[in-house]
Structure 1
Amino acid sequence: MPPLTLNSKTRCVLYGAVMLWLGVCGARAETIRIVTEELPPYSMTRDGKLTGMSTEVVQAVLNEVNVQASIQSMPWARAYDLALHDPNVLIYSISRTAEREGLFKWIGSIATSRWYLYSSSTHPISLTDLDDARDWQIATVNEDVGEQYLIGKKFIVGEQLQSSNRYELNYQKLRTGHVDLWISDELNAGYLARQAGDDPARTLVQSLRVPELEENGGLSMAFSAGTPDATVQLFQKGLRTIRENGTYDAIARKWN
């Protein structure tokens, strides 16, 4: 029997298939580290288990792409630093901004968000624009997008901005009058108020909406810049799939 010969087109197709297979297998072979923060109801530890809307979306993507990886919850500044400097780190829920665009490899949006500067109903503050907030003390979270946004607008930590590592501390500061304003995502603010036994409709005043923080799809998942493209593409495909097959919508309905 004469040896089998392949034309150039067939060789190219086979070569492409082999390279794709190697890329996907390589992506799955990488050790992936997943980091997040305590940002209820998107990610939070309850009874020793990490849960929340964004967490369930990430877990659904992991199941879809058949990758096993543990998720660690830590202060946002530490999670952000790891994702900035270490390869193969997946971070969520991270807002996609112009300043962050080139720092990460973006997978896609996993939750919508609306951002406000809140004041307390016991000390309501009317703001027509962001400049009106410069005379007030504002609660922020260290290195989160709200704080980064305000710093970019020339607000200063230790002067107008009172930074902390935990979101629930900021609600307590606002509630007790230790700060005048609090920059927060709407779902997070409402959840923390209810956890404190309050009705957010009665205790929180939406003094100013911050639409710049809502661009590019709200909250996302992203890989560190040193992550192989094959890994990124695998997760992008997984997120698209759970959006198309209804899994994402089912999770969103549960938490909204």
Structure 2
Amino acid sequence: MTPPNHKLKARNVLYAVVLACLNVCASQAEQIRVVTEELAPYNMTLNGQLTGMSTEVVQAVLKEVNVDATIQSMPWARAYDLALHDPNVLIYSITRTPEREHLFKWVGTIATSRWYIYSSASHPVSLMDLDDARDWQTATVNEDVGEQYLIGKRFAVGQQLQPSNRYELNYQKLRTGHVDLWISDELNATWLARQAGDDPERTLVRSLRVPELEDSGGFNMAFSAGTADATVALFKKGLKTIRENGTYDAIARKWN
């Protein structure tokens, strides 16, 4: 039985609307800028290519949503500033904290993380709680979550905190005694120690765990606030799909 004319017209209008929405989503997604930092083994440049667990997850999501975007690695403070102020910027690996919650549009978790304040085995520092760290110099990275966390706890840059632009510089500062402590993600700390030819179990001391930085579940993908909700929804769906079809687990096994 042939549907009445008005039903055909309504159906055609619906199809046109859906197609238009999909085209808008694709157009918005194609214009995005993807930024990150050198945070091995999550995101790092090896032999001129950006790789790492988080990078592979982001690349898998981009493929799933059929978006061709170049990922740029830069100092974290610059990437963070771009994501804060420019529209259509996707940033990873970023920790989701209460202070950041309303600054970005969150896609989802792409890697777990554990955070510690480390000291050197050659100069171990015993910390019962965070207040004990106030008597020591701590290495941080400009604008990263470790530095923001300590500033939020009333640690001062230039006094207790000694920032750098690169994580490997902080390991070297700890190793050579230029600082007493270093706040870092565990995988990053052990990776950098091994890259320097050291055994992390012999050179690094976990002086204090920082569980507050782990409450978010780990590192995330997030869009700048000026990004269209439709684009964010598209990437959320893409991340959900690669988790459900086994792609995410395959990437995680490779890097863990």
TM class by shorter chain equals: over 0.9
Which secondary structure state, in structure 1, belongs to the residue aligned with residue 206 of structure 2? strand
Structure 1 CA distance for aligned equivalents of residues 166 and 23 of structure 2: 38
Residues 128 and 2 of structure 1, relative CA distance in 2, 3 Å threshold: closer
Report the 3-state secondary structure (helix = DSSP H, G, I; strand = E; otherwise coil) of the residue aligned with 1:69: coil
Match of 2:225 in 1: 225
Please provide the CA RMSD for this pair.
Answer: 1.7
1:193 is matched with 193
Give the C-alpha shift of residue 201 in structure 1: 0.6
Corresponding residue SS for 1:189: helix
User: C-alpha offsets along residues 108-167 of structure 1, whole Å, 9 cap, x if unaligned?
Assistant: 000000000000000111111100000000000000000000000000000000000000
* Paired residues of 1:24 and 1:231 also in contact (CA < 8 A): no
In structure 2, what is the equivalent of residue 4 of structure 1? 5
Partner of residue 234, structure 2? 234
Given that 1:44 and 1:52 are in contact with CA atoms closer than 8 Å, whether structure 2 keeps it comes out as yes
> What residue is the counterpart of 1:23 in the other structure?
21
CA distance in 2, matches of 1:18, 1:29: 16
Aligned equivalent of 1:167: 167
Alignment match, 1:202: 202
Name the structure 2 match of 1:82: 82
* Residue matched to 1:64: 64
Partner secondary structure for residue 192 of structure 2: helix
Q: CA deviation at 1:5?
A: 1.4
1:29 CA drift (Å) = 1.0
SS at match of 1:6: helix
Alignment partner of 1:116: what SS? strand
Residue 253 of structure 1: how far off its partner (Å): 0.5
Q: 1:161 to 1:63 in 2, by over 3 A?
A: same
Judged with a 3 Å threshold, the aligned counterparts in structure 2 of structure 1 residues 17 and 107 are, in CA distance, closer, same or farther, namely farther
* 3-state SS of paired residue (1:179): coil
What is aligned with 1:147? 147
**What is the count of residue pairs matched by the alignment?**
253
Q: Could you tell me how far 1:216 is from its partner in structure 2?
A: 1.6
Alignment match, 1:114:
114
SS in 1 for 2:90: strand
SS of structure 2 residue aligned to 1:102: coil
TM-score by length of 2: 0.95
Identify the residue that residue 156 of structure 1 maps to in structure 2: 156
The answer for the alignment partner of 1:132 in structure 2 is 132
1:55 equivalent in alignment to 2:42: no
Runs of 4+, deviation exceeding 4 Å: 13-18
User: Where in structure 2 are there 5+ consecutive unaligned residues?
Assistant: none
Q: What residue in structure 2 maps to residue 97 of structure 1?
A: 97
Seq. identity, %: 75
Paired residues of 1:65 and 1:235 also in contact (CA < 8 A): yes
Q: Write the letter of the residue equivalent to 1:25.
A: N
- Preserved CA contact (<8 Å) 1:118 1:205: yes
Task: Say which SS state the counterpart of residue 128 (structure 1) adopts.
Answer: coil
| Alignment partners' CA distance in 2, 1:150 and 1:144 | 10
Q: How many Å apart are 1:3 and its aligned residue?
A: 7.0
Separation (CA, whole Å) in 2 of partners of 1:207 and 1:2: 73
Structure 1 residue 14 displacement after superposition: 6.5
Deviation at 1:24, TM superposition (A): 2.8
Deviation per CA, 1:161-187, whole angstroms, max 9, x where unpaired?
000000000000000000000000000
Structure 1, gaps ≥5 residues long: none
